[in-house]
C-alpha cells in the first residue's frame, strides 16, 4: 500500500538578546558552568522576574516575517513539570494567548512553491543543561542557559516529506537570520527542531496517530529521523500493529529512534497564568514601529535581484537563500557594475571554495569589495578568467587585495606581441602533428595549440591576441 507522511514541526529558537528573558544575566554561549546565573533565573524564593522588552519585539518581528497576526493582548503562563533542568519546577511559557498566530511561510519544493501554515509563535524560557558524570550515578547541572529567551514556532501538519521539512527549516532559518533575531546555529542548539509525524494510507482523510521526536539539531538528522520514523510506522502498520502516541529520542549515531515513554502517565502541565508577570499589550502603534524596523525579507530581495540586477531566477534564489551570501553579493554588485559576473563568481568558484573548506558565507575572509575589484580586473582585460580563479584562491588564503596579488604573482595578461609570437613559434615547432592536423582542416587541433600556448604563458596570454597571432603564424606556414 502507498502511504502519505504527515509532518508538523515545533521549532525552538534562542533569541540573540544580550540578557536573559527575566533577569539581567548574560546570554553568552559557553562560559564556565553556573557563572551566568542569579537568584531570578534559578527560581530562588521571593524573586520577581521582569520581562525583557526586546524579547517581545523579536517575537513580534518573527511573527510579522512569518505573516502571523499579532495578538493585541497576550499573557504568560506557568507550565509545570518536574525535571532538574528547570530549577523552578515550571517553565514560563505562553498557553492560550500566544503573541503570534495564524501565519505562513512559503517554501520552494519540487514543482514550485508550497505554503506551510504557522499555527503560533510564543515566547518562553530555555532550560539548563544536564550532564551525566563518569560513574553515571549522578547528574550534574549547568544553569547558564536557563532563562535564555526562546520563541517556539509551531507549524500546521502541512509537510509531506523529509525534503519539505528540510526546506521549511532552511527557509525559516533564513528569515530569522534576515530579521537578525537569532544566530540560528543548530550545532550550538540555538535552533532545535521537534518533529511530529504520522502516516496514513494514501487517499485517507483522517490523520494517523503521531509520534514526536525531540531536539533534532542538524538538517541531516531531521531528514534521517523523518525517513527512519516514517519507515518504522509503516512497518508497524503493515505488520498489523498500531502506532502508540509517544515521544521518541533520535540517536543520530546509531540512526534509530527510541521510545522515551516512562512509567508515568501522559504529561499534565497544569498551565496557569503567571502571577508575577503582567500581560503584554502590543498596540497598533508599537506593531507598526516593529514592522517598519523589519528589513527586506528573502522573497522580496529575490524579486528585486531579478528586476533590479537582471539576474536569472536561479541565481537570485540561491543568493537570497542565505542572508550572508546575499549581503556579500549585493555589496560586491554595487561596486562592480557587473552584477551577473559577480553572481557567477559567487555561485561558482566562491561557493566551491567554501564547500571545500567547510565554510559558510559569513566566513568569507575578504571584503565583498575585493570581489568587485576582481571582476573589474577581468572586465578591463588585466587578467583572464582563468587567472581570476587563481587570484580568488589566494584571496581566501592571504589578506591581500586582488591588485596586489596580481602584481606580486605577476599575473597580468601578456599582450606583448613580440613575446607572444615567440611562444606561438615555439608551440608550432613542438607540435608538428597538430599543425599537420590543422592544415588538414581539423578545427580541434587549433584549440589544442591555443591550449598549449596558454600553458606556456601560465594562462596569462591575452586570449584574443594569442588567437590572432597563432592563426597568422599557421597561415604563414601554409604558404
Partner 1 sequence: MFTIRKGIYMKVTKETIEYVANLARLKLTEEEKEKFIRDMENIISYVDKLNELDTSEIAPTDHVIPINNVFRDDEVLDSYPKDKMLMNAPSKENGCFKVPKVVE
**Where on the chain is the footprint of partner 1 (CB under 8 A)?**
17-19, 24-26, 32-39, 42, 50-56, 73, 75, 80, 82-84, 97, 130-133, 136-143, 260, 262, 264-266, 268, 270, 273, 275, 277-281
CB of 18 to partner 1, least distance (A): 5
Q: DSSP class of residue 363? A: G
Q: How far is the CB of 283 from partner 1 (least distance, A)?
A: 9
3-state secondary structure 411-458: CCCECCHHHHHHHHHHHHHHCHHHHHHHHCCCHHHHHHHHHHHHHHCC
Compare residues 125 and 330 and give the one whose CB is closer to Zn ion: 125
Cell of 464: 584574443
Name the residue nearer to partner 1 (CB basis): 141 or 354. 141
Closer by beta carbon to partner 1, 22 or else 309: 22
Cα 380 to Cα 72, 386, 391, 418, 466: the distances in Å are 58, 14, 15, 22, 17
Question: In what order do the strands lie in the sheet containing 90-93?
Answer: 90-93, 77-80, 272-273
CB of 364 to partner 1, least distance (A): 30
Give 43 or 298: the residue with its C-beta nearer to partner 1.
43
Q: Pick from Zn ion, partner 1, none: which does 444 bind, CB < 5 to 8 A by kind?
A: none
CB of 143 to Zn ion, least distance (A): 9
With CB under 5 to 8 Å by kind, the binding choice for 42 among Zn ion, partner 1, none is partner 1
Query: What distance in Å separates the CA atoms of residue 106 and residue 116, rounded to the nearest whole number?
Result: 6
| The three three-digit cell numbers of residue 202, written as one number | 494514501
Give me the DSSP letters along 57-80.
Answer: HHHHHHHHHTTPEEPSEE--EEEE
CA gap 409, 152 in Å, rounded: 53
Q: Nearest approach, Cβ of 255 to partner 1 (angstroms)?
A: 20
**Rounded Cα–Cα distance for residues 150 and 193 (Å):** 13
Q: Which does 260 bind (CB under 5 to 8 A by kind): partner 1, Zn ion, none?
A: partner 1
Q: What is the smallest separation between the CB atom of 137 and partner 1, expressed in angstroms?
A: 6
How far are the Cα atoms of 103, 135, 145 from residue 88, in angstroms, in the given order? 32, 27, 14
Contact (Cβ atoms closer than 8 angstroms) between residue 234 and residue 40: no
Kindly state the smallest distance separating residue 23's Cβ from Zn ion, in Å.
3
Task: Count CB-CB contacts under 10 A for residue 217.
Answer: 18
* Binding partner of 262, given Zn ion, partner 1, none, CB within 5-8 angstroms per partner class: partner 1
The answer to the question of residue 153 lying near Zn ion (CB under 5 A) is no
- By C-beta, is 131 or 359 nearer to partner 1? 131
The answer to whether 443 touches 463, Cβ cutoff 8 Å, is: no
Which is nearer to Zn ion, 21 or 176 (by Cβ)? Answer: 21
Give least dist CB 163 to partner 1, A.
30
What are the backbone dihedrals phi and psi of residue 108, each rounded to the nearest 5 degrees, phi first?
A: -90, 120
Residues 6+ apart with CB under 8 A from 334: 372
CB-nearer residue toward partner 1: 125 or 456: 125
Number of residues that bind Zn ion (CB under 5 A): 5
Give the three cell numbers for residue 161. 516529506
Three-state SS for 221?
Answer: helix
Q: Which is nearer to partner 1, 51 or 469 (CB)?
A: 51
Shortest Cβ 76–Zn ion spacing (Å): 17
Site for Zn ion in 15-34 (CB under 5 A): 23, 25
Q: Which is nearer to partner 1, 26 or 163 (CB)?
A: 26
**Window 34-63: residues binding Zn ion (CB under 5 A):** 38, 40-41
Residues that bind Zn ion (CB under 5 A): 23, 25, 38, 40-41
Amino acid at each position: 500500500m502507498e502511504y502519505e507522511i504527515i509532518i508538523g514541526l515545533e521549532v525552538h529558537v534562542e533569541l540573540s538578546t544580550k540578557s536573559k528573558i527575566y533577569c539581567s544575566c548574560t546570554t553568552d554561549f559557553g562560559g564556565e558552568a553556573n557563572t551566568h546565573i542569579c537568584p531570578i533565573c534559578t527560581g530562588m524564593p521571593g524573586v520577581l522576574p521582569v520581562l525583557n522588552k526586546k524579547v517581545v519585539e523579536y517575537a513580534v518581528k518573527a511573527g510579522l516575517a512569518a505573516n502571523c497576526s499579532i495578538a493585541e493582548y497576550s499573557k504568560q503562563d506557568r507550565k509545570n513539570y518536574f525535571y532538574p533542568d528547570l530549577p523552578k519546577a515550571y517553565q514560563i511559557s505562553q498557553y492560550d494567548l500566544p503573541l503570534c498566530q495564524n501565519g505562513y511561510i512559503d517554501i520552494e519544493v519540487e514543482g514550485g512553491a508550497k505554503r506551510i501554515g504557522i499555527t503560533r509563535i510564543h515566547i518562553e524560557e530555555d532550560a539548563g543543561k544536564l550532564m551525566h558524570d563518569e560513574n553515571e550515578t549522578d547528574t550534574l547541572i549547568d544553569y547558564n542557559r536557563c532563562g535564555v529567551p526562546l520563541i517556539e514556532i509551531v507549524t500546521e501538519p502541512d509537510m509531506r516529506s523529509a525534503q519539505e521539512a528540510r526546506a521549511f527549516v532552511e527557509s525559516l532559518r533564513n528569515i530569522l537570520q534576515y530579521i537578525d533575531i537569532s544566530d540560528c546555529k543548530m550545532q550550538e542548539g540555538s535552533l532545535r527542531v521537534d518533529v511530529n509525524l504520522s502516516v496514513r494510507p494514501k487517499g485517507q482523510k483522517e490523520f494517523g496517530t503521531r509520534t514526536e521526536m525531540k531536539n533534532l539539531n542538524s538538517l541531516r538528522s531531521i531528514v534521517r529521523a523523518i525517513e527512519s520514523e516514517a519507515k518504522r510506522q509503516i512497518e508497524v502498520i503493515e505488520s498489523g500493529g498500531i502506532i502508540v502516541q509517544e515521544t521518541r529520542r533520535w540517536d543520530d549515531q546509531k540512526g534509530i529512534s527510541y521510545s522515551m515513554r516512562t512509567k508515568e502517565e501522559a504529561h499534565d502541565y497544569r498551565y496557569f497564568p503567571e502571577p508575577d508577570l503582567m500581560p503584554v499589550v502590543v498596540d497598533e502603534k508599537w506593531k507598526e514601529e516593529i514592522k517598519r524596523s523589519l528589513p527586506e525579507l528573502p522573497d522580496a530581495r529575490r524579486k528585486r535581484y531579478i528586476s533590479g540586477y537582471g539576474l536569472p531566477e536561479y541565481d537570485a534564489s540561491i543568493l537570497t537563500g542565505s542572508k550572508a551570501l546575499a549581503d556579500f553579493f549585493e555589496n560586491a554588485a554595487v561596486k562592480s557594475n557587473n552584477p551577473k559576473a559577480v553572481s557567477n563568481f559567487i555561485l561558482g568558484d566562491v561557493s566551491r571554495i567554501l564547500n571545500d573548506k567547510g565554510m559558510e558565507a559569513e566566513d568569507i575572509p575578504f571584503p565583498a569589495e575585493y570581489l568587485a575589484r576582481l571582476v573589474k580586473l577581468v572586465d578591463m582585460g588585466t587578467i583572464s578568467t582563468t587567472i581570476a580563479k587563481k587570484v580568488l584562491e589566494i584571496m581566501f588564503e592571504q589578506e591581500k587585495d586582488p591588485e596586489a596579488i596580481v602584481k606580486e604573482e605577476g599575473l597580468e595578461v601578456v599582450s606583448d606581441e613580440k613575446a607572444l609570437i615567440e611562444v606561438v613559434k615555439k608551440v608550432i615547432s613542438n607540435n608538428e602533428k597538430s599543425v599537420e592536423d590543422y592544415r588538414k582542416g581539423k578545427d580541434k587541433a587549433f584549440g589544442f595549440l591555443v591550449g598549449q600556448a596558454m600553458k606556456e604563458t601560465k594562462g596569462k596570454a591575452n586570449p584574443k591576441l594569442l588567437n590572432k597571432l597563432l592563426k597568422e603564424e599557421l597561415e604563414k606556414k601554409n604558404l
